[in-house]
Every structure is written in structure tokens, then in C-alpha cells.
Amino acid sequence: MLDMKWIRENAEEVRVAAEQKGIDVSIDNLLQWDERKRKLIQETDGLREKRNRLSQQIGQLMLEKRVEEANLIKEDARKVNDRLGKLDHELTIAEEAFATLYELVPNVTSPDTPVGRSDEDNVELARFGEPPSFDFEARDHMALGALHDLIDVPRGVKTAGTRHYYLKGAGVLLHRAVQQLALDLLVEKGFTPLEVPLMARPEAMNNTAFFPTGRDQTYRLEDEDRYLVGTSEVPLVTFHAGEIVQVETPIKLAAASMCFRSEVGSAGRDVHGLYRVHQFAKVEQVVICRADAALSNTILEEITANAEKLLQLLELPYRKVAVCTGDMSQKTYKQYDLETWMPSRAAYGETHSSSNLHDFQARRSNIRYYDENCVLRYCHTLNNTAVASPRILIPLLENHQREDGSIYIPKALRPYMYGKTELVAPQLLGKD
């Protein structure tokens, strides 16, 4: 969340951020309820002080046997109590109305964030590697999965419904290999790996700013006030929620975990194959640092470079884009996406995302530190998808396929694949 005093002083900037991010919240109404709430708090505090003074006077008068005077003051105290009861009710209404609007207020965006309405307005910053040019009829990842017996969607649907799947054999090994490669890379970069809960309380979802705007993407456990997480960012950030932390050196946390998303509203080619599924695995990196804009921007570049390193190790062509305002979430101040070339789509598809949230998330999660002047301040938080699978299997299989149906395994993955240098379809074994 943003500091309310800052919102009052920068209301127009917040209005613009809400409009550009497509978040339906009235900043004018928020300011009105804020003013109403503050006036009611001031008045009720004053009345409580008056009631305390009257109570003391009544007690003293009763000790002095001045009952008639005490009864007159009791009448004044009754009127104060009546007024307090009315104001307390009004204050409850004002606080609830204020809180409903306040939790919808978005983070503002960085000055260099492009303005746009959707991912079509994201701005390409750089390209790395060249998309392959096949001189044969290339297969998509589902056809390759069938050829090599790696993916079984019909049985996934039979078991769990649409957008579920089984990975089999080498498909499982690749799925695990890319995660372990990513986790090893992050450990080398000084990240502490955590095994995290996959369920979270609603306050954890709110405090990390996945609620209220992302509630429709989240699975709720029936009869329990808990939710399945769509990213380990939630438990990684919540690990330090409510704490005063040491950030002379940034805190770097990583987790490899299963993730769950309902994917409400997604359609079209995004639902083909493994691109947009309900259950997947991610290796996530989270950094908590001082509230220093230059520092957190440097860290944003670093965690993005970690994800780029992973793609380079996988020998995949990709591009880096600056995410526009309309494609950002409520909490994000600045964001990059990495999009990897997917031959079956004849386009780059998003595989990684990096976000700098400034103190928006830490303020909600109450993660603070003492600065050099011994003043408590809210930290900056950042996050990045080091790898997400099975989506990464789409470019991995499609870009590395060969005319004979075999699939090249990048050198970096081979230690995790029992030394295999390629996948050869069972029906191709033994052929010249």
C-alpha cells in the first residue's frame, strides 16, 4: 500500500496510476472517507477524554457526599456516552468504507514505465539469440511430447479436469532439471533456498498484495480460510512479515514450489498444450532491501539477469521487454518480462517476470528496518521468476527439435538428465 499522507499530497499521480492500470477505485471517494474518518476519530477521542474527566469528577463528588452535584454531572456523562455510541457507529462505517477503497489503491509506476493498455503495448528493450529457421516441418511441443511419450493431457483431464496434464519419463526429468538448474544458479548468487508452505491465510494474500485484485485467480480450500498460492512469492515475503530486519546486505530468498492458478478469463491459443495450466512449478527469487530507489533498481536488473542467465544456459532465443502500465499488477512499480521464442506460436511468449515494488508490499506486510539515523522505515521488495515449468518446456522442446524427431539437450541440463545429450523417440531407436 501507499502511505496515506503521501496519497493526500499526490492524489493526481495516484488517480493516473489507477486509471492506467485499469483498477476501478475512486481516489476522490477515498480522500473523502479518509477526511471523514479522521474527523470522527478526533471527535471521539475528545469525547472519551471528556468522559474520563467527568467520571473522575463524579467519583470525587461522591466521596465528598455531594450527591446532587454528582447526579448533574452524571447526566452530562450520559449525553457524552450517547453521542459516543452514535459516533462509534459512524466511525465503523467510515473505517470500513475507507479500508475497502484503500486496499484497492495501486502502486504508482516508475517514470520510465511505458504507458499502454495491454501486453501488446510492452516495449522491447533487447533481443538475445536468433530464432531457429527449420528446413523441415517443425512439430509443436504437444506433437513432440506425443512422439517421445513425455506429456499426457487426456489422462490429466480424466483425473483433474481441463488444463491438467501428466508428465512422463524424460518429460519429468526435464521438468525437474530446469528447476534444479535455476535453484543451483540462485544459490551460487547468494540466495537462501526455502521449502515453503503452499497454502496461505487470507492476511498473507492481502499483505503481499495478491488480494483483493487477484482473488479470482486463486483456489480457496473449501471450509477453510486458506488459499493455494499461485507463486512462492507469497510465503517468501511473508517469511519476514511483521518483522524488523537487517538489510545492510539485501535479504535474498528462493524457493522451488508447486503453484496453482484458476486462470479465469484466459482463452485462445494460450490454453493450448502446456502454456497456461492450473498446476505448475516455479523457482522464485525474492529480495528485501533498504528503501533506496537506486539500490532496488540495481537489484531489479540483477534478478532479471539471473533469469536471462538461465535462458542462456538453456540455449534459447529470448527478448527483454519493459512492461506497460496496463499490463502491470496493482502492486508493481516497475516490471520487465522475458519472452522466449516459441516456434509453434511463431512469436515470443512470456516465460519470466521481474518486478520492483518499492515499499508497497513491505508496507502491507509490515517489514521494516532501522536506517542510518535509527529511524524505522519500510523495506523495498522485489521478485522474479527464475523459471516456470512446464511452460519453459514449450520453447525447450520446440527450439531444440531436429528433423528426425530427436531433441537436443543443452549442455547445462545434461548433469541433471543422467548425461543424456539428446532425446530420441522410442520408435526411432534402432533406425539408421
Residue 311 has pLDDT above 90, yes or no: yes
- Cα(291)–Cα(297) distance, rounded to whole angstroms? 11
Residues 172 and 37 in one domain: no
Instruction: Assess whether pLDDT exceeds 80 at residue 267.
Output: no
Q: What per-residue confidence (pLDDT) applies to 430?
A: 56
Average pLDDT over residues 355-371: 98
Whether residue 268 has pLDDT greater than 60:
no
The pLDDT score that the predictor gives to residue 269 is 55
Find the CATH number of the domain harbouring 194.
Answer: 3.30.930.10
pLDDT for res 409: 98
Whether 266 is catalytic is no
8, 66, 226, 276: which is the annotated catalytic residue?
A: 276
**Does residue 182 sit within a domain?**
yes
Flag whether pLDDT at 308 surpasses 90: yes
CA dist 31 and 130 (Å) reads: 51
Catalytic annotation on 261?
A: yes
Per-residue pLDDT at 431 exceeds 60: no
Residue 112 belongs to a domain: no
Report yes or no on 114 lying in a domain: no
The pLDDT, as a whole number, for residue 58 is: 85
Residue 44 in any domain: the answer is yes
The answer to whether residue 78 is catalytic is: no
The answer to which of 42-46, 70-74, 349-353 has the lowest mean pLDDT is 70-74
Does one domain contain both 192 and 231? Answer: yes
Predicted model pTM? 0.92
pLDDT computed for residue 65 by the predictor = 83
pLDDT above 90 as % of the chain? 88
pLDDT at 347: 96
Beta strands 192-193 and 251-260, pairing class = parallel
**How many domains would you assign to the chain?**
2
Does 262 qualify as catalytic in the annotation? no
Same structural domain, 354 and 421:
yes
Concerning whether 276 is annotated as a catalytic residue, the answer is: yes
pLDDT > 60? residue 165: yes
- pLDDT score of 201: 97
Half-sphere exposure (Cβ direction) of 132: Cα atoms closer than 13 Å: 22
Q: What is the mean pLDDT of residues 188-196?
A: 98
Q: Are 204 and 241 in contact (CB under 8 A)?
A: yes
Kindly report the number of other CB atoms within 10 A of residue 347's CB atom.
Answer: 11
Burial of 386-403, coded b for 16+ CB within 10 Å and e otherwise, reads: bbbbbbbbbbbbbbbbee
Query: What does the pLDDT read at residue 136?
Result: 96
* pLDDT of 428 higher than 80: no
Q: Which of 373, 371, 368, 360 is nearest to 248 (CA)?
A: 371
pLDDT of residue 260: 97
pLDDT of residue 266: 59
Residues 265 and 127 in one domain: yes
Whether 90 and 47 share a structural domain: yes
* Strands (E) located in 225-375: 227-228, 251-260, 279-289, 318-322, 334-342, 347-356, 368-370
Q: Of residues 296, 329, 353, 354, which has the active-site annotation? A: 353
CATH number at residue 49: 1.10.287.40
The reply to whether 96 and 181 lie within a common domain is no
Mean pLDDT (the chain) is 95
pLDDT of residue 107: 98
81 and 169 part of one domain: no
C-beta of residue 310 within 8 angstroms of C-beta of residue 181: yes
Task: Say which of 354, 389, 391, 398 is annotated catalytic.
Answer: 391
Q: Domain range spanning residue 363?
A: 119-427
Q: How confident is the model at residue 251 (pLDDT cuts 50, 70, 90)?
A: very high
Tell whether 278 is covered by a domain. Answer: yes
Q: Is the pLDDT of residue 123 over 80?
A: yes
The predicted pLDDT at position 186 comes to 98
Please tell me the predicted confidence (pLDDT) of residue 226.
97
Q: What is the dihedral of CA 7, 356, 297, 319, to 10 degrees?
A: -130
How much is the pLDDT for 134? 96
Catalytic residue among 344, 350, 363, 398: 350
Catalytic one of 163, 261, 363, 368: 261
Q: Give the mean pLDDT of 24-40.
A: 97
How many C-beta atoms lie closer than 10 Å to residue 408's C-beta?
Answer: 14
Domain boundary among 67, 102, 137: 102
pLDDT band at 429 (very low <50, low <70, confident <90, very high): low
